Structure 1
Amino acid sequence: MAKKSPPFHALLFGLLVIFCGTYCDGRIACEPGWNYFKEKCYHSYQFHLYTYYEARTVCIALGGTLAKINNLEEDLWLKGYTEGKFHLWLGANDIEQAGVWKWEDGSPITYSNWYTNQPDNLARHPDIAVCLHFYNEWNAKWNDAPCSQRKGFICEKNIILKI
């Protein structure tokens, strides 16, 4: 009788366990260069300047999305993680309807940390799509800018494995 090979998912799990033994703290796994916070992995690209659309494409190609901030705790963590870095795209915009801000997944912004009198590009450029970014000169408060500007960005994705 021929010997059966283990199912593919068993082999994949074994590889993840080996990977996790090397790259995680026993509870979570993020790929090398990514940082863990609250069930997500994050990576900032401060020296790679892309338009919002290009940054979104890069994050998707890496298996994630531009970062979404759901609450103050996540906002403060990302502020600390990106301290001293340049302007960084986050995953929200008003492309669909001017003045109506949504995250990339289509959900409305329920928590916000806009700088005083922001967003304001709607008033200055009502015909230009604007997107959300951290503005470090304003203590990492949020600002809107034309999506065609080149900035760094933050990607987020799900953890690889939780054991």
Structure 2
Amino acid sequence: MTAAWVILTVTSVLFAAREVSSHNDECSNGWTSWKRNTELGYEYKMICWKDYVSEDVALKRCREERADLASIHSKDENDFVTDVAYGVGMSFKSGLKVWIGLHKNKHGGWEWSDGTAYDYKNWDDKQPDNYNGHETESPEDCTQIYSSGKWNDLKCNGLVRKCVCKREWIPLEMEKFK
């Protein structure tokens, strides 16, 4: 009887722990500010899923937060987004892919989903490569950021479980005038 109780208890605890983690799609401590000392800055948040999600699902989730997938416009911002994506002290570590908001437009050029200028790039070696040049087989029209901060083009329905969202930070005193 005691052995059966121990097995049942251990199984229940493991199942409960698994259930809690599977329902938590936010894997950060809320929004993290960048350049908050300026009149208008930005804040970032990482979102995680138990299962893989497409770039469209990630973008929709960011927009539910009045945000967009992260756009990056400088080395400093790239370093900051990388820290948000991989340095939050959680169970997701490097090796998992993270969506950012860079994707190909209908003319084949790159653009940010928030409409800001494509004025900075940090592609990994030999990237973007559009699936090693096999565009007709599997076009890679979206972008992930590695734990190194380098970027990789990826299919928009790629195997990704995380994204970084970005929105303007507005001081509370300015918020009441909007």
Q: TM-score, normalised by structure 1?
A: 0.70
Greater relative contact order, per chain length (Cα 8 Å cut-off, separation 6+): 1
Question: In structure 1, the residue corresponding to 2:165 is in which secondary structure?
Answer: strand
Q: How far apart in 1 are the matches of 2:81 and 2:75?
A: 10
AA paired with 1:144?
A: D
CA contact (8 A) 1:67 1:154 kept: yes
Q: What's the offset of the Cα at 1:94? A: 0.5
Aligned counterpart, 1:76:
79
5+ long unaligned stretches in structure 2: 1-28, 36-40, 87-92, 174-178
Q: What's the offset of the Cα at 1:37? A: 0.8
Q: How far apart in 1 are the matches of 2:139 and 2:106?
A: 11
Aligned counterpart, 1:135:
146
Q: How far apart in 2 are the matches of 1:96 and 1:120?
A: 17
Q: What's the offset of the Cα at 1:95? A: 3.7
Q: What's the offset of the Cα at 1:109? A: 1.6
CA contact (8 A) 1:59 1:66 kept: yes
Question: In structure 1, the residue corresponding to 2:142 is in which secondary structure?
Answer: strand
CA contact (8 A) 1:52 1:148 kept: yes
AA paired with 2:124?
A: Y
Aligned counterpart, 2:5:
none
CA contact (8 A) 1:101 1:108 kept: no
Number of aligned positions between the proteins: 129
Q: What's the offset of the Cα at 1:76? A: 0.9
1:73–1:162 distance in 2 versus 1, CA, 3 Å: farther
CA contact (8 A) 2:84 2:164 kept: no
Give runs of aligned pairs for residues 98-113 of structure 1, distance below 5 A: 98=108, 100-113=109-122
1:79–1:108 distance in 2 versus 1, CA, 3 Å: same
Q: Does 1:117 align with 2:120?
A: no
Q: How far apart in 2 are the matches of 1:36 and 1:92?
A: 21
Give runs of aligned pairs for residues 1-163 of structure 1, distance below 5 A: 33-38=30-35, 39-48=41-50, 49-83=52-86, 84-85=93-94, 86-98=96-108, 100-121=109-130, 123-126=133-136, 128=139, 130-136=141-147, 139-151=148-160, 152-162=162-172
Q: TM-score, normalised by structure 2?
A: 0.65
Q: How far apart in 2 are the matches of 1:150 and 1:95?
A: 21
1:108–1:97 distance in 2 versus 1, CA, 3 Å: farther
Give me the CA root mean square deviation. Answer: 2.1
AA paired with 1:81?
A: V
